[in-house]
Amino acid sequence: MNPAVREAEILVVGGGAAGLCAAAEAAVAGARVLVLESDLHLGGQLVKQTHKFFGSKDEFAGTRGFKIAGKILDEMASCKDKIETVTNANVMGYYPEDGVVTVMVGEDEYFKVKPARIVMATGAQERLIAFPNNDLPGVYGAGAVQTLMNVYGVSPGDRVLMVGAGNIGLIVSYQLMQAGVQVAAILEAMPNIGGYWVHAAKIRRLGVPILLRHTIKAALGDVVVEGAIVRSLANGETFKIDCDIICLAVGLSPTAEILWQAGCEMKYVPELCGYVPIRNARQRTTNDDVWVAGDAAGIEEASSAMVEGRIAGLDAAASLGYEIDESRFGVYEERLKALRSGETASRIRAGLARVSANGFLGGMTSDGFQ
Amino acid sequence: MASSNLPVDRSFESGVLNGECPGAVLPPECLWKKKKNGFALIECPQRIPCNPCATSCPAGAVRPFADINDVPRVDYEKCTGCALCVAACPGLACFVVDLTYGEDLALVKLPYEMLPVPSAGDEVDCVDRTGGVAGRGSVVGVSEPLKDHTRVVSVSVKKDIVSDVRAIRTVN
Ligand SMILES: Cc1cc2nc3c(=O)[nH]c(=O)nc-3n(C[C@H](O)[C@H](O)[C@H](O)COP(=O)(O)OP(=O)(O)OC[C@H]3O[C@@H](n4cnc5c(N)ncnc54)[C@H](O)[C@@H]3O)c2cc1C
């Protein structure tokens, strides 16, 4: 227990793709950075991703997600005298009166930090859907299945019914197959897969059916999951699928609690999957001391989360008076623009247009770039 | 491993290619028939922000992207059939098909990230885009070009199924 209030120039909340890049960038600029991560290790979602990432070379395309985390940690190690990281440290609250942040370490240790600047990079939370028996053991979120399988090396079960054919549902299905777990089927309510077509194609080749316009009606079982009732949205027919795991991959919502506490102006933006803070082109929120980056700013991808983190870290360092190379912003903004320029990112563009303080996004509009 | 009792959706919307389209075109037959080591076949019909096929090609045969969202286009003047794209593509969407391998046999090089890893000489099931068995094939070689756990398996198959074979399944 340390009742004293710790000082920090820049506090980064969350040690995922966005937070780690923010920390590296701010430290390179000269700022002293404290990274607090509630998990037992750094890396966020990246450490669970065994597949190769998309994107361009700048965002490590073609590299497996967990290796990307390692690369950013290596970068941080090159300025380790500037960066302190604490894992198992859950940021619980922000007190706007004095800007103090409260932190729980493990179950019974507690401390306070008074940072000059904060980068919020708290990532996302999984959504669940309601259906009878969804509280049976064996009903998991995709994140939990990934943690079991890819972090702890524990097989979640023998036969999985995946709900949701977005990228997460498709990728986790593939990872399950790699782990030797059967995937009975992937259900998708929409008339087309939501994730990248190639992710679906590689699962289909392995013989996994994707049932479009189908949803889960109920989980079956007394003590644990023994199957599921599936319903066609096209004709209302129901049928049973045998499985011992039901894995929900039905979307994420930005983790925004501390942003609310910090008094940031928030807006509900369906395209970004929930409440997100209004911010300027440098990721700065309406609370001048607070920046946001990554999934906490809107559900997107690690590639853009990393770039947003870099912009936030750089700008936070600049605001403290550290000398930075202004042209970096231009480079990062170009990268974001490229990542967001395709059809698959049209939702993101529409969402960003709604949270941009005074239309900053370099002429970006919801249907493209001017 | 497939759930045999469920209907098999073969629609494009469910992740199954059915016919050529931008990002998924076949090499011109006249060149392809005679091309030693084969040509790359890429099945990447959706514009997504991803370009390792182009940036990893040592011959510059996957035409450079103007926009990272471009779909790949192969320059058959340059493609050597080296299969580096097969190993590099994060979407496992690149294949190489060599029609000169034998009188009745073609060589298909495909990405493989499953266990067990087959060995040269093994007989394997060659499966189509929905996991159905298209026929048997014989593994000619297994390499790991980028040393990153994505194997490139070269399998010889009857020529008449080359357009269907897009994965293999080991058999015991
Ligand atoms: C299955 C799957 C596949 C994916 N595939 C790809 C892909 O191929 N390409 C791609 O670009 N992206 C991919 N993504 C998306 C990518 O992983 C995320 O967009 C990215 O990790 C977001 O980074 P982040 O730093 O914003 O959030 P996260 O990685 O989620 O990190 C947030 C961190 O904050 C911590 N945290 C939260 N609240 C607190 C708190 N109060 N106190 C302390 N710490 C806290 C969390 O523990 C977490 O470690 C995939 C995601 C999933 C789930």
Close Cβ partners of B114 (under 8 Å, ≥ 6 residues apart): A177, A178, A206, B170
Same domain, A28 and A79: yes
* Residue to mutate, A36, A47, A49, ligand 1, most ligand atoms under 8 Å from C-beta: A49
Domain boundaries, position B34? 29-170
A221 within some domain: yes
| Partner A, chain B 6-35, Cβ-Cβ below 8 Å | 6-9, 11, 13-17
Residues B50 and B95: their CA atoms lie apart, in Å, by 17
Question: Which chain A residues are Cβ-neighbours of B14 within 8 angstroms?
Answer: 192-193, 200, 204, 210, 212
Burial environment of residue A77 by CB neighbours within 10 A (0 to 12, 13 to 18, 19 or more): exposed
pLDDT tens-digit profile of A204-260?
Answer: 999 999 999 999 999 999 999 999 999 999 999 999 999 999 999 999 999 999 999
In the predicted structure, residue A368 carries a pLDDT above the cut 50: no
Please spell the DSSP secondary structure of A316-340, one letter per residue. HHHHTT----THHHHHHHHHHHHHT
B21 within some domain: no
Same domain, A181 and A275: no
Contact by Cβ (8 Å): A32, A157:
no
Neighbours of B65 (CB within 10 A): 19
Q: pLDDT band for A3, please (50, 70, 90 cuts).
A: low
> Shortest CA distance to A12 belongs to which of A64, A82, A96, A59?
A82
Domain boundary among A178, A213, A248: A248
In the predicted structure, residue A282 carries a pLDDT above the cut 70: yes
The token pair at B72 is: 């790949």
- Given the DSSP bridges, would you call strands A5-13 and B151-158 parallel, antiparallel or unpaired? unpaired
Domain boundaries, position A235? 128-248
Ligand 1 atom, smallest distance to A172 CA: 1
- The total of structural domains in chain B comes to 1
- Chain B: nearest CA to A41, how far in angstroms? 23
In the predicted structure, residue A359 carries a pLDDT above the cut 70: no
B17 within some domain: no
pLDDT tens-digit profile of A148-191?
Answer: 999 999 999 999 999 999 999 999 999 999 999 999 999 999 99
Residues A88 and A216: their CA atoms lie apart, in Å, by 35
Question: Which chain B residues are Cβ-neighbours of A57 within 8 angstroms?
Answer: 51-52, 55
Which three-class secondary structure state does DSSP give residue A216? strand
A281 within some domain: yes
pLDDT value, residue B7 = 85
CB distance from B144 to chain A under 8 Å?
A: no
Neighbours of B78 (CB within 10 A): 13
- The sign one gets for the Cα dihedral A222, A226, A232, A233 is positive
B6 within some domain: no
B55 within some domain: yes
Residues A133 and A217: their CA atoms lie apart, in Å, by 10
B136 within some domain: yes
pTM: predicted TM-score of the whole model, two decimal places: 0.93
Angle at A152 between CA A182 and CA A35, to 5 degrees: 130
ipTM summary value = 0.96
Q: pLDDT band for A363, please (50, 70, 90 cuts).
A: very low
pLDDT value, residue A358 = 60
Question: Which chain A residues are Cβ-neighbours of B150 within 8 angstroms?
Answer: 52
Q: Is A123 in the pocket of ligand 1 (CB under 6 A)?
A: yes
A114 within some domain: yes
Beta-bridge mates of residue A126? A252
Nearest residue in B to A208, CA atom:
B2
- The total of structural domains in chain A comes to 2
Nearest CA to ligand 1 atom 38: A122
**Average pLDDT taken over every residue of chain B:** 95
CA A51 to centroid of ligand 1, rounded, Å: 15
Output the CA torsion A144→A145→A148→A149 (10° steps).
-150
Q: Check which CATH number belongs to the domain holding A87 and give it.
A: 3.50.50.60
Residue identified by tokens 């102006």 is A265
Question: Which chain A residues are Cβ-neighbours of B95 within 8 angstroms?
Answer: none
pLDDT tens-digit profile of A67-114?
Answer: 999 999 999 999 999 999 999 999 999 999 999 999 999 998 999 999
pLDDT value, residue A357 = 75
pLDDT value, residue B1 = 38
Element spanning B86, H or E: helix B84-88
pLDDT value, residue A364 = 43
Burial environment of residue A247 by CB neighbours within 10 A (0 to 12, 13 to 18, 19 or more): buried
Domain boundary among A222, A248, A274: A248
> Shortest CA distance to A141 belongs to which of A247, A216, A227?
A247
Q: Which ranges of chain A would DSSP assign to H, the alpha helix?
A: 17-29, 65-77, 142-146, 167-178, 197-204, 257-261, 302-319, 327-339, 346-355
Q: Is A150 in the pocket of ligand 1 (CB under 6 A)?
A: no
Rounded to 5 degrees, what are φ and ψ at B46? -115, 140
Same domain, A159 and A190: yes
pLDDT value, residue A1 = 45
Domain boundary among A195, A227, A248: A248
Nearest CA to ligand 1 atom 32: A123
Q: Is A84 in the pocket of ligand 1 (CB under 6 A)?
A: no
A367 within some domain: no
Share of chain A above pLDDT 70, in %: 96
Same domain, A101 and A171: no
Please spell the DSSP secondary structure of A292-317, one letter per residue. E-GGGGSS--HHHHHHHHHHHHHHHH
Q: What is the mean pLDDT of residues B36-44?
A: 98
Cis peptide bond N-terminal to B116, omega within 30 = yes
> Shortest CA distance to B142 belongs to which of B125, B121, B172?
B121
In the predicted structure, residue A138 carries a pLDDT above the cut 50: yes
Contacts 24+ apart (CB under 8 A), B146-150: B146/B84, B146/B87, B146/B88, B148/A52, B148/A63, B148/A64, B148/B87, B149/A64, B149/B113, B150/A52, B150/B87, B150/B92, B150/B111, B150/B112, B150/B113
- Judged by phi (left if over 0) then psi (alpha if -120 to 50, else beta), residue B92 lies in left
pLDDT value, residue A223 = 97
Q: Residues for chain A: how many in total?
A: 370
Could you tell me how many CB contacts below 8 A there are between chain A and chain B?
Answer: 151
pLDDT value, residue A253 = 98
